Amino acid sequence: MERHFKVTATEGIHARPAAILVSAIKPFISAVELKYNGQSANLRSILSVMTLCVPVHAMITIVAEGDDSKELLDKLSEVILSQGIGEGCEN
Q: Which residues, at least 6 apart from 55, have a Cβ–Cβ distance to it below 8 Å? A: 7, 12
Most distant CA pair in the chain: distance in Å?
A: 34
Q: Which residues are catalytic?
A: 14
